[in-house]
Amino acid sequence: MSYTGTAHKVGEHIDTDAIIPARFLVTTDTRKLGENCMAGLEEGWVKRVKPGDVMVAGRNFGCGSSREHAPIAILGAGMPVVIAHSFARIFYRNSFNMGLLLLEVGDEVDKIADGDTVEVDAAKGLITNRTTGATITCPPLPASMRELLDKGGLVPYVREKLA
């Protein structure tokens, strides 16, 4: 499970209203939510994102309302991974259950700047900043969680387990 892409850096305490404002909650369509990803932070923010890019954030990313639309919007924008100093609890669970990989790295998040190219190896627990050569280690993602993400989240995961 590895990804390489451009880092898009956002600040601290980014709440779910910044990730996907309530006015866009009229749909659960991944692509449509993705088109408005981070619109609560900056109109048109998402235009900078190419599929496979990586979101990088400060402390307490995903705080606020527990809407499951927030991780879907990030996935819909084409970003399969968020690296942050830390995450809010409900957002953390929702993300894995929706199929979005989160890596919590504490202060080491400062080793990544906006626009850097980063490579993420979740199984090894290794993040490499291709631009600077810096590396960050985090606990390797257990096989069961990789499976959850591979299947695309909790609903398809359970569906397959039961089949």
Partner 1 sequence: MAHTLAQKILQAHTDEAIMAAGQIVRCRVSLALANDITAPLAIKSFRAMGAKKVFDRDKVALVMDHFTPQKDIDSAQQVKLTREFAREMGVTHYYEGGDCGVEHALLPELGLVGPGDVVVGADSHTCTYGGLGAFATGLGSTDVAGAMALGETWFKVPPTIRATFTGTLPRWVGAKDLILRLIGEIGVDGALYRALEFDGAAIEALSVEGRMTIANMAIEAGGKVGLFAADEKTLAYTAARGRKDAPLSADPGATYERELTFDVSGMEPVVACPHLPENVKPVGEVQGVTLDQVVIGSCTNGRISDMREAAEVLKGRKVAKGVRCIVLPATPGVWKEALKEGLIETFMESGCIVGPATCGPCLGGHMGILADGERAIATTNRNFRGRMGSLESEVYLASPAVAAASAVAGVIAHPGSL
- 83-122: which residues touch partner 1 (CB under 8 A)? 88-90, 92-94, 96-97, 104
Q: Which of 66, 132, 135, 137 binds partner 1 (CB under 8 A)?
A: 66
Binding of partner 1 at residue 26 (CB under 8 A)? no
User: Minimum distance from CB of 140 to partner 1 (Å)?
Assistant: 10
Q: In what order do the strands lie in the sheet with 126-129?
A: 101-104, 81-84, 54-57, 2-9, 117-121, 126-129, 135-137
Stretch touching partner 1 by CB under 8 A, among 31-39, 73-81, 123-131, 151-159 = 151-159
CB contact set of 132 (below 8 Å; sequence gap of 6+): 111, 113, 116
CB contact set of 130 (below 8 Å; sequence gap of 6+): 4, 116, 117, 118, 119
Query: Residue numbers of the site for partner 1 (CB under 8 A)?
Result: 66, 68, 88-90, 92-94, 96-97, 104, 139, 141-142, 144-145, 148, 154-155, 157-159, 161-163
